[in-house]
A and B are shown apart, each in its own frame.
Chain A
């Protein structure tokens, strides 16, 4: 489809570009107070436009084969849009952020949003690289948005260096692919790859591309930046980084690998790695390493944000576990888990933001007494933590059950299942360290608690999903299944 025809499938993204530009113009015209309303309305319209669009799983190519329009990408777009929108709402109530730069903050978030949208439906090497960079570059700025905070600056710099390094390696891998096939469209490349005699070239380029994607989803050994950046960035930004780019990263990882490096050339078929290049074993090993490192390192953390960063790494490990099965069920499991993970992780982060706003605390020990100071929110925080730990009366349990199910159903990597179960046990410890701190301590907090209605509502709303999806998960699961 040519560019002009493709625009009708590209309206949400166009709206987001326009929105980002218009708030910058509003700022330039000293109409800052209209920015928030403009962003809310714009995102609402974008969501409405997204509602209008739907497509089968095999989809069709738009913009001359640069992007694909399919149901797989729409699901991820929804997750990305919901989490981003909630972050934009919360950012208005964070004390950490400087009001002076709120427009820049919003604009950057919107650029990242655009990049993430593109990540979900890129099928051209050029678009893959560009979309990842479009996510990365504003992210560097977001990490360093606190100009006067040394840690924030350090986080930003580390992010830039690590990001450039990873994207350099990925670019190297992409160039190998181009060298093999002489084309940038991944469907064309697949056809060439099928004729390649030596699997080593495929393998090396695969590994290098995995570096680029792995860096986005903070898979081991590319997780190094995660704790430092998460700790240094403002909490709102950390919350943002922990969900939306991960979802986008998984989208691009699943799409690229399922199409390029399997026998099937499609998302909707159970398949095996191409040319017996056993990359699913690589992913399985990396998944085991990722979840183990995430959990083991989270054990000894005192800083809540840093601990949640490691927890994010371990959750990525769990999702990679399902990816290692290279099955449709595994992809469904990841998509399902991402929805659960978005709600529980964001509600936990929002609670951290709320606590930081009111009591100015950073470490787990400082959380003592909060269980009695703000009882309602604490209950929901406990719910989110239980869900993150994957215990039964919550959606985290249901999500994890599906991840494990896909692994055991495909009857490979049983050892990975055992590692994952052990890791689940370990994760209990550090999540409940917060619970312990919140409830089992005598400390009485003197500060007055200032409850902001949107923060309160979002915490309650997102955390309530833990129970909701525990009881009524089947609708969501069937919906995702219906997409394929």
Chain B
């Protein structure tokens, strides 16, 4: 019972925050952040307690007991269908809860300052509350149907937060786009869940994993990929990644929480959960999608000038890594990368938020409302003005670039090793996976340093803006510092050796993802072990190339940017990157425009032809008919026949009243007369 209560607190605390703030937020106003923050603090404490309980893997003893708590109750049942809701908590869940709670808490703290002065200050925190509620729901869910419910709730809260500044032009559009794009994936996910349910007879993930063995492999592949479609939408994988860059229209802390650290990771988390029953065919598709996403988003990120857009594409690219890792059979590394990525990407976003905040204040001071505070071409040299932000951002950039001593190195190294071993094993076309993986690693290092150099180094582009830049207040810098500390490899390994990834964290997750219905995971893992060193050297190599190129071009300015751009443009790469691979345009061409044309045509047929001509013609005819029937009805039927009957009735009634004279002699006479008449008349018949 206590356990259930403890688990329920993960749902109750944020929903309490939401309910209180949405109804009484106006009254609390300034204190609403305090309320949200304290509830998040409680939740963080709760998550820490939970993770202390979690059982790590003991490397020396090799003894291990899978620690898990779970419970479920019937939600409703009709006929044969009975649906259960419940939670399932193991180490993975505990870590996810901690990540959500930690980043949620830091974002709350950060937002108290960042959102200060916003007219809908309390509503912002309410929305954060409902988001965390639904995110925890996904994490705790023990069944696909419950996960699906919270999946949609997450979509809703994301919609609310992206469109938070709805009075502006672009946020509502971005919110719509995010929501609708996600719906495409969700429909697939729902169909997949239903296919699984009708073949296995349960929504419970564990029971599905146990029960799919009798399913037709082709159908199972299809079902797995359909469920994975949800992840494609939510984790912004190609081809449904288009919503995430637009989602940057929301407040920057929201981007850090939802669109970098937690919600987009939900897709990875879900794929991690369904991983055991994905067939090898399905996994290959997953890996390819991840690879395409990783590489394409990285290339697109190079040419972005908007600081948040760079980070957005970087997020897509990193999510591609995780999906690719799942596809090649390394779910542990995918999850590892998920957590490390959550830390350094949240840090990066919050740093960019800090920069934007400073830029915004400076522009506000100058009374300049036209300059884009997010454009990197307006920045430069901020290193001296914002030392803490600079340091935090540099650390997390090193982490994402995969430099040793930083967390990114550990997880990305594992993923690349898995990809490489996958290639060793299957050869042939699978070469594209390592190419994409290492290529993206190099490009990531390149564009992340490009961002650092353009923002913090060099000469300030706009002197007057530069003059008014100030370091952000403490409430914003504390999360930066904390998260940058967590971007060090040391935080995850408690070990100074940069090349050794074993540590408390890996001990916690080591045993998970070791079971698969179709793959021999032991074999896969030993393959990853053996490819480990190749991958490490190669990744270090490509990372240093990327960093070196970046230093050459943007710090030392030895190479002209335009020349390189032209060089790449010979194969069209530059314009591809600049135009985001034309994906939005392609969608516009093949989906939106035909659809709009179709709706216009349908509308024309429906309104101009059917409604205006045919229906109205009937209306006109009916009108005429009714006019004449009305005349005949009123004048003849109503006035003569109906009213006539009524008058007749009244007349008869008046006449009949006279028989009831009140004189008893007449009554008796009447009775006798009628009696005699009856006796005589009926006798004749």
Complex: A in contact with B (CB within 8 Å): yes
The residues of A with any CB-CB pair to B shorter than 8 Å are: 158, 161-162, 165-166, 169, 200, 203-204, 207-208, 211, 221-222, 224-225, 227-228, 278, 281-282, 293, 296-297, 299-300, 426
Indicate whether A299 sits within 8 Å of B649 (C-beta atoms), given known contacts A200-B683, A203-B682, A224-B660.
Answer: yes
Is residue B670 contacting chain A, with contact meaning CB distance below 8 A?
yes
A186 CA / B683 CA spacing, docked (Å):
24
Map CB proximity to A onto B643-684 as digits: 1 under 8 Å, 0 otherwise: 000000110111011011010100110110011001100110
Closest to B655 in A: A296
Residues of chain A within 8 A of B682, CB atoms compared = 203, 278, 281-282
Give me 10 other A-B pairs in contact (C-beta within 8 A), A165-B671, A297-B656 excluded.
A166-B671, A207-B678, A222-B671, A227-B660, A228-B660, A228-B662, A278-B685, A282-B682, A299-B653, A300-B654
Residues of chain B within 8 A of A204, CB atoms compared = 679
For the residues of A in contact with B, the DSSP-based class is helix
B256 smallest CB distance to A (angstroms):
61
Residues of chain B within 8 A of A278, CB atoms compared = 682, 685
Residues of chain A within 8 A of B657, CB atoms compared = 297, 300
Report yes or no: A224 in contact with B670, Cβ–Cβ below 8 A.
yes
Report yes or no: A282 in contact with B671, Cβ–Cβ below 8 A.
no
The residues of B with any CB-CB pair to A shorter than 8 Å are: 649-650, 652-654, 656-657, 659-660, 662, 664, 667-668, 670-671, 674-675, 678-679, 682-683, 685
Report yes or no: B667 in contact with A225, Cβ–Cβ below 8 A.
yes
Residues of chain A within 8 A of B652, CB atoms compared = 296
Residues of chain A within 8 A of B654, CB atoms compared = 300
Residues of chain A within 8 A of B667, CB atoms compared = 162, 224-225
Residues of chain A within 8 A of B671, CB atoms compared = 165-166, 211, 221-222, 224
A158 CA / B659 CA spacing, docked (Å):
16
Considering residues A227, A293, A299, which has the most beta carbons from chain B within 10 angstroms of its beta carbon? A299
A294 smallest CB distance to B (angstroms):
10
Report yes or no: B656 in contact with A296, Cβ–Cβ below 8 A.
yes
Residues of chain A within 8 A of B670, CB atoms compared = 221, 224
A299 CA / B660 CA spacing, docked (Å):
14
A212 smallest CB distance to B (angstroms):
12
Residues of chain A within 8 A of B659, CB atoms compared = 224
A199 smallest CB distance to B (angstroms):
9
Indicate whether A293 sits within 8 Å of B656 (C-beta atoms), given known contacts A278-B682, A299-B650.
Answer: yes
Closest 8 CB pairs of A and B: A224-B667, A221-B674, A299-B653, A296-B653, A300-B653, A158-B664, A221-B671, A161-B664
Closest to A159 in B: B664
B642 smallest CB distance to A (angstroms):
11
B660 smallest CB distance to A (angstroms):
6
Indicate whether A207 sits within 8 Å of B656 (C-beta atoms), given known contacts A158-B664, A161-B664, A162-B667.
Answer: no
A364 smallest CB distance to B (angstroms):
15
From the candidates A207, A228, A300, name the one contacting B679 in the complex (CB within 8 A).
Answer: A207
A211 CA / B668 CA spacing, docked (Å):
12
Indicate whether A165 sits within 8 Å of B668 (C-beta atoms), given known contacts A228-B662, A281-B682.
Answer: yes
B669 smallest CB distance to A (angstroms):
10
A224 CA / B671 CA spacing, docked (Å):
9
Report yes or no: A161 in contact with B678, Cβ–Cβ below 8 A.
no
Indicate whether A300 sits within 8 Å of B664 (C-beta atoms), given known contacts A203-B679, A203-B682, A282-B678.
Answer: no
Report yes or no: A300 in contact with B683, Cβ–Cβ below 8 A.
no
B683 smallest CB distance to A (angstroms):
6
From the candidates B649, B653, B683, name the one contacting A203 in the complex (CB within 8 A).
Answer: B683
A334 smallest CB distance to B (angstroms):
22
B684 smallest CB distance to A (angstroms):
11
Residues of chain A within 8 A of B679, CB atoms compared = 203-204, 207
Residues of chain A within 8 A of B664, CB atoms compared = 158, 161-162, 224
Indicate whether A211 sits within 8 Å of B675 (C-beta atoms), given known contacts A162-B667, A224-B667.
Answer: yes
A281 CA / B653 CA spacing, docked (Å):
25
A71 smallest CB distance to B (angstroms):
34
Residues of chain B within 8 A of A296, CB atoms compared = 649, 652-653, 656
A281 CA / B650 CA spacing, docked (Å):
28
A225 CA / B662 CA spacing, docked (Å):
9
Closest to B667 in A: A224
Closest to A297 in B: B656
A162 CA / B667 CA spacing, docked (Å):
8
A277 smallest CB distance to B (angstroms):
9
Closest to A207 in B: B679
A438 CA / B662 CA spacing, docked (Å):
29
A306 CA / B668 CA spacing, docked (Å):
20
Closest to A279 in B: B682
Closest to A169 in B: B675
B288 smallest CB distance to A (angstroms):
64
B645 smallest CB distance to A (angstroms):
9
A300 CA / B683 CA spacing, docked (Å):
36
A228 smallest CB distance to B (angstroms):
6
Indicate whether A207 sits within 8 Å of B649 (C-beta atoms), given known contacts A158-B664, A225-B667.
Answer: no
A166 CA / B671 CA spacing, docked (Å):
9
A224 CA / B678 CA spacing, docked (Å):
17
A408 smallest CB distance to B (angstroms):
23
Residues of chain A within 8 A of B650, CB atoms compared = 299-300
Report yes or no: B668 in contact with A297, Cβ–Cβ below 8 A.
no
Closest to B665 in A: A161
B646 smallest CB distance to A (angstroms):
9
A8 CA / B670 CA spacing, docked (Å):
45
A262 CA / B416 CA spacing, docked (Å):
105
A208 CA / B667 CA spacing, docked (Å):
17
A297 CA / B659 CA spacing, docked (Å):
10
Considering residues B649, B656, B659, which has the most beta carbons from chain A within 10 angstroms of its beta carbon? B649
Residues of chain B within 8 A of A293, CB atoms compared = 656
Residues of chain B within 8 A of A282, CB atoms compared = 678, 682
Closest to A306 in B: B660
Considering residues B652, B653, B671, B683, which has the most beta carbons from chain A within 10 angstroms of its beta carbon? B671
Report yes or no: A207 in contact with B668, Cβ–Cβ below 8 A.
no
Closest to A158 in B: B664
B407 smallest CB distance to A (angstroms):
71
Residues of chain A within 8 A of B674, CB atoms compared = 221
A355 CA / B654 CA spacing, docked (Å):
28
B651 smallest CB distance to A (angstroms):
10
Closest to A277 in B: B682
A281 CA / B664 CA spacing, docked (Å):
28
A90 smallest CB distance to B (angstroms):
28
Residues of chain A within 8 A of B653, CB atoms compared = 296-297, 299-300
Closest to B674 in A: A221
A296 CA / B682 CA spacing, docked (Å):
25
B37 smallest CB distance to A (angstroms):
54
Report yes or no: B649 in contact with A162, Cβ–Cβ below 8 A.
no
Report yes or no: A207 in contact with B675, Cβ–Cβ below 8 A.
yes
B656 smallest CB distance to A (angstroms):
5
Residues of chain A within 8 A of B660, CB atoms compared = 224, 227-228, 297
Report yes or no: A426 in contact with B675, Cβ–Cβ below 8 A.
no
Cβ contacts A to B, 5 pairs, < 8 Å: A165-B671, A221-B675, A282-B678, A293-B656, A300-B650
A299 CA / B646 CA spacing, docked (Å):
11
Residues of chain B within 8 A of A221, CB atoms compared = 670-671, 674-675
Considering residues A211, A224, A299, which has the most beta carbons from chain B within 10 angstroms of its beta carbon? A224
B681 smallest CB distance to A (angstroms):
10
A340 CA / B652 CA spacing, docked (Å):
30
Closest to B676 in A: A207
A167 smallest CB distance to B (angstroms):
13
Closest to B651 in A: A296
A158 CA / B663 CA spacing, docked (Å):
9
A282 smallest CB distance to B (angstroms):
6
Residues of chain A within 8 A of B649, CB atoms compared = 296, 299, 426
A269 CA / B363 CA spacing, docked (Å):
103
Residues of chain B within 8 A of A224, CB atoms compared = 659-660, 664, 667, 670-671
B666 smallest CB distance to A (angstroms):
8
A208 CA / B660 CA spacing, docked (Å):
23
Residues of chain B within 8 A of A208, CB atoms compared = 675
A297 CA / B655 CA spacing, docked (Å):
9
Residues of chain B within 8 A of A300, CB atoms compared = 650, 653-654, 657
